[in-house]
Structures are given as C-alpha cells and as structure tokens.
C-alpha cells in the first residue's frame, strides 16, 4: 500500500515535537549532528512525511527556535517551566485553538528514525476508539531479561486493546509457569501476553486542554510513569500493537554514535 493511499484513509491529525534544550544525560542533543543535519531536523522531516495537517516544533530555547526556523519548521516558543512534553503540547494546543476532537501526536525530538507507520497506527487506533482520549504503542516481549528489566516498561491491555496498567515490574506474571524458574534463565511462556510500551503518545485536544487540572497520582509517583496519571483518572488509553521495537532514540552520546554508524553502513 502506498503512503498516499494510506494518508487518504487516515483521519486528520497534527504533530507537535517538544524540543527541550536542556538534558541531564546529553545536553543540546537535539542540535547534535547526525549525517550532516541536526537530530531535530531528522525528526521534523519524518513528521512531515507522516501526512499531518501541521507539524510544529515546540521549544523553550532561542537556539532551537532559530535552528528549526532555518530548516523550515513551524516553531512555537513555549514556557520554560514545563515538567514534561505533555505540558508543552497542552500549551501549543491552546495557542493553536485546536478544537476538542482534533488529534495531536507527540513525536519526541530525539527519535530521528521513528517509523512513520507507528504514527499512523497510533492515530488510527485513537480514531477508531471513540471512547478513548489518548493512544500509545506497544510491541511483544519475548526476552526474559527485558521482561524483568525495570527500565523496560510493560503494559497490560483489556479485550478492547485498552491499557489496564503500565508498570516497570514484570506484568502479567505467570504464577505457575514461572514459579519454579528461580534464576529466571528460561523462556517466557509462548502464550503469555507480555507487551513492551513504546513511548509514542496521541491525544485528543480535549484531554490536553484539561491536563493541567489532573493531579499527579500516587501510582505515577511510585512508578515514575506519567501515563499512570491518565489511568488513575479513568481516562481510556487505546494501545496500538507494533510488529517490532523501533530504533532506539538519542538519549546519550553513545546512542548518537550508534546511529551515526548505522548511517555510514
């Protein structure tokens, strides 16, 4: 199926790229060179390819603002006191005066090789579930170490593919099948529906408009997972299933070097 055919079947949507200048592990990473252009420019270009009604870079720093303008992006300067990308999206949605039923995709500025197909799948998932206010993406886990790794976030879904819970803990737990595997050296049961959360978020503008009113939940505080704030409030989160895990983003200088190596092959 061609991209143009797929675009005609997709609902209208907007993409916002939160582009924070500061980063504890890798300062100024969005401006780092990758194959002759900044990481952020790669993200902007893949976002343009997705067929969105609009693509907006949202930043709190003049250097990113100027750089984004140079490669032709639409840029919005936002406040510098946002705690996360969702707050920045909410400010943009308000400035753009998007109506409550419009769909907004949060594409992280440090994901230069995010598959456009994942954007399409998550937009379609939210569009088809009229009761859900947001959507995200997950893929299957078949590796025991990933299952046990607290840095790999897991999600459990109901029979409508809506999220029941996100956790750093290994969920769901096969009590009988894993009870005797004390060193966890075995394989995951083939029929255990273990899903790894992929941090791509899609929102209805109505949810972003009320985000500031949603208090941090105890679950979010303990797990350090922002998406639990929504589940705690009873907000329905639809989950699109990806065939595989996409390329890793740029969290560290080492990540950047790996991507540079991939481009050179």
Check pLDDT > 80 for residue 1: no
pLDDT tens readout for residues 30-79: 999 999 999 999 999 999 999 999 999 999 999 999 999 999 999 999 98
pLDDT of residue 178: 78
pLDDT tens readout for residues 162-173: 999 999 999 999
How many Cα atoms within 13 Å fall on the side-chain side of residue 82? 24
Please give the structure tokens belonging to residue 220. Answer: 């979010």
Strand, helix or coil for residue 75: strand
- Distance (Å, rounded) from C-alpha 105 to C-alpha 52? 9
User: In this predicted structure, which of 97-101, 131-135, 203-207 has the lowest mean pLDDT?
Assistant: 97-101
pLDDT of residue 184: 62
pLDDT of residue 4: 43
- Residue 234 — left, alpha, or beta (φ > 0 → left; ψ -120 to 50 → alpha)? left
- Distance (Å, rounded) from C-alpha 114 to C-alpha 70? 22
CATH for 13-138+195-264, options being 1.10.10.10, 3.90.550.10, 3.40.50.300, 3.40.50.410: 3.90.550.10
Q: Which residues contact 200 (CB under 8 A, 6 or more apart)?
A: 105, 106, 107, 108, 114, 118, 119, 122, 136, 137
Decide: pTM greater than 0.85. yes
pLDDT tens readout for residues 9-22: 889 999 999 998 87
Q: Which residues contact 210 (CB under 8 A, 6 or more apart)?
A: none
Inter-CA distances, 227 with 11, 144, 231, Å? 24, 24, 7
Check pLDDT > 60 for residue 148: yes
pLDDT tens readout for residues 227-243: 999 999 999 999 999 99
Check pLDDT > 90 for residue 129: yes
Of the pLDDT bands very low, low, confident and very high (cuts 50, 70, 90), residue 185 is: low
Taking the alpha carbons at both ends of the chain, their separation in whole angstroms is 28
Q: pLDDT exceeding 90 applies to what percent of the chain?
A: 72
């Amino acid at each position: 199926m061609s991209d143009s055919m797929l675009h005609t079947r997709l609902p209208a949507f907007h993409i916002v790229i939160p582009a924070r200048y500061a980063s504890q592990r890798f300062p100024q990473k969005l401006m780092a060179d990758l194959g002759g252009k900044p990481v952020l420019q790669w993200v902007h270009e893949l976002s343009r390819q997705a067929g969105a009604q609009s693509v907006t870079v949202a930043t709190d720093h003049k250097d990113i603002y100027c750089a984004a303008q140079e490669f032709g992006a639409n840029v919005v300067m936002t406040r510098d006191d946002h705690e996360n990308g969702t707050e920045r999206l909410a400010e943009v949605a308000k400035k753009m005066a998007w109506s409550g039923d419009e769909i907004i995709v949060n594409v992280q500025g440090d994901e230069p090789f995010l598959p456009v197909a994942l954007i399409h799948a998550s937009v379609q998932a939210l569009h088809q579930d009229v009761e859900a206010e947001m959507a995200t993406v997950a893929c299957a886990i078949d590796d025991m170490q990933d299952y046990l790794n607290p840095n790999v976030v897991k999600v459990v879904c109901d029979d409508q593919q809506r999220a029941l819970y996100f956790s750093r803990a290994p969920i769901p737990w096969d009590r009988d099948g894993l009870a005797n595997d004390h060193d966890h050296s075995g394989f995951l049961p083939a029929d255990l529906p273990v899903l790894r959360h992929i941090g791509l978020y899609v929102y209805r503008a109505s949810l972003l408009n009320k985000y500031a009113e949603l208090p941090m939940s105890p679950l979010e505080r303990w797990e350090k997972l922002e998406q639990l704030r929504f589940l705690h409030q009873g907000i329905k989160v639809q989950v699109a299933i990806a065939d595989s895990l996409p390329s890793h983003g740029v969290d560290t200088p080492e990540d950047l070097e790996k991507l540079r190596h991939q481009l050179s092959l």
